[in-house]
Structure 1
Amino acid sequence: MARGRRVNSSGERSKQLLLEKAIELFSAHGYHQTKISDIVKAANLTQPTFYLYFHSKESLFNDLNSEFQKSFYDIFNGGLAQLEGNENVRKKMFAMLKDILSYFVQNPNLTKIGFFESAEAEEMKRELADRLVEIMTVHNIQGSMLEHVDTRIFVESLLGSLERLTLTKLLTEKRTPEMLAEDIINIYFAEQEELVR
C-alpha cells in the first residue's frame, strides 16, 4: 500500500484539498498542462497521499467532470420538466437559465472543466440540444416566432450563446445570472409571452 496519510485520519480534508487544488489548476492550465506533482505541491501534500484517493490524474479529472455533469443535469432536467406545455415559456426558460447560470457562478472553475475542457463536454451539449429539440418540437414551444428556422438551428444557436456568454460575460462578472438569463430570453423568446418577474 502507498505510504502517506491514512484515509480515515485527516484524510477527508486531504482529499478535499486535492480536489480544490486540482479544480483550480485544471481550470487555469487545462488537463494536459497540469501534473500530479503540481496538484500535490499546491495542496502541500505528497504524491503517496494523492494515490490514496485517486488512481491517476485522469480518474481525478473524470471525478470532477462527473460531479459537474450530475449537478448540471439535475438543474437542466428539473427545468425541462417545467417546460412541458406551451404556457409561460419565457418564464420557465428564464428560471431554468438563471438556475444553470447561478450554478456556473457558484462553481466557475468546475464549470470551465465540465462545460468547456472535458472530452465529455461536447457529448453533453449534443445531448442537451437533442433534449431541447425534442421538448420544443413535441410541445411546439417555438410557435410562430421561428416558423422559417429549423428547430435544431434555433437550439444550437441558443446553446452556443450560452457557452460564449458564460465565458465573456458571466465568468468575467460583467453580468449576473439573472441579467444574462434575461438577455438570452429576450433574444430567443422575444415573441413569446412577456417575461414575468
Structure 2
Amino acid sequence: MPKDRSPTRIQKRNRATILEAALDVFSQHGFRGATVDQIASAAGLSKPNMLYYFPSKEAIFTELLSELLDTWLDPLRELDPSGEPIEEILAYVQRKLQMSQEMPRESRLFANEIVQGAPRMIEELSTDLRALVDETEQVFEAWMAAGKIARVHPRHLLFSIWSLTQHYADFEVQVQVLMQPEDPFAGAMEFLETLYRRMLAPQP
C-alpha cells in the first residue's frame, strides 16, 4: 500500500479484514499450503484489490508474525522478579493457557512457522525471544539460589509450560474429541497448578 499519506478509515478496515482472513487461512493450511486466492476469498476482496494492500502472501504472513511475536512475549515480560516465585510462575502458566483458549489460530500460526524451520522469524527467535529467555533464566536461577523454588532446569521449565499450555490450541481437535463432553479448559488450570506447585515446592 502506498506510504505517501496516512491510510484512510476504509484502507485501515480493509487491511484488518485481510489480516483476519489470512490468520484463518494460515492457521489451517500453514504458509506453504495457503494461497493468495484463498486469503482474498476469505477476506471478501478481489485478488488485485488485496494485492494493493499487501504485495504478496509473504508480506501478509510477515505482518501477522510481527504482531504475534509481541503478543506471545508479553506474558513472559509480565513475570515479576520481586514477586512470590511460585505464584508468579503460576500466573504465567494461567496467562499462556488463557491465550490458547482465546487465540488458538495465533498459536497454530506460530507453531506452523516453527515446524517449518522458522524461515520468516529465525532472526526474532535468535534476538528478542533469546534475550527474554536469558533474562527469565536469571530470574529463575536467583529464585532457586534463594531456596524459593526447587532446583530445575530453567529452560526446560519454560519449554514445559509452553508445551502444556499451547497443546490445547495446537492440537485443538484432538483435545476436544478426547475430552468430550467435558470442556477441555474446565480443569486444565487446576491440573497445571497442582503439577507445578508440587514440582517447584522448595525442599526442606
- TM-score class, shorter: 0.7 to 0.9
Runs of 4+ in 1 over 6 A off after TM superposition: none
Distance in structure 2 (CA, Å) of the matches to 1:108 and 1:125: 20
**1:108 Cα deviation (Å)?**
1.7
Per-residue displacement from partner, 1:63-103 (whole Å, max 9, x unpaired)? 1111111122222201x2x2x14x63232222222223223
The answer to whether the 8 Å contact 1:89/1:141 transfers is: no
How far, CA to CA, are the matches of 2:71 and 2:102 in structure 1?
A: 12
* Cα displacement (A) at 1:174: 0.8
Q: Distance in 2 between matches of 1:144 and 1:91?
A: 11
Instruction: Give the structure 1 partner of residue 180 of structure 2.
Output: none
CA deviations on 1:44-65 (whole Å, 9 max, x unpaired) are 2112211221121111111111
* 158 and 17 in structure 1: CA distance in 2 versus 1, 3 angstrom threshold: closer
Q: Which runs of 5+ in 1 are unaligned?
A: none
Task: Write the mapping of 1:36-75 to structure 2, written as runs, cut at 5 A.
Answer: 36-75=36-75
TM-score by length of 2: 0.71
Q: Is the 8 A contact 2:101 2:185 kept in 1?
A: no
Task: Specify whether residues 140 and 187 from structure 1 end up closer, same or farther in structure 2 by C-alpha distance, changes over 3 A only.
Answer: same
Are 1:139 and 2:143 matched, yes or no? yes
Q: Which residue of 2 aligns with 1:188?
A: 196
Residue 100, structure 1, aligned to residue 83, structure 2? no
Q: Among the aligned pairs, what percent are the same residue? A: 22
CA contact (8 A) 1:21 1:42 kept: yes
Change (3 A) 1:165 1:134: farther
Q: How does 1:15-34 map to 2 (within 5 A)?
A: 15-34=15-34
State the match for 1:157 in structure 2: 160
Superposition deviation, residue 192 in structure 1: 2.9
Contact 1:129-1:156 within 8 A present in 2 as well: no
- 1:9 deviates by 6.5
Number of residue-to-residue matches in the alignment: 181
Distance 1:140-1:166 versus aligned 2 partners, 3 A rule: farther
Q: Work out whether residues 93 and 185 of structure 1, in 8 Å CA contact, stay in contact via their aligned partners in 2.
A: no
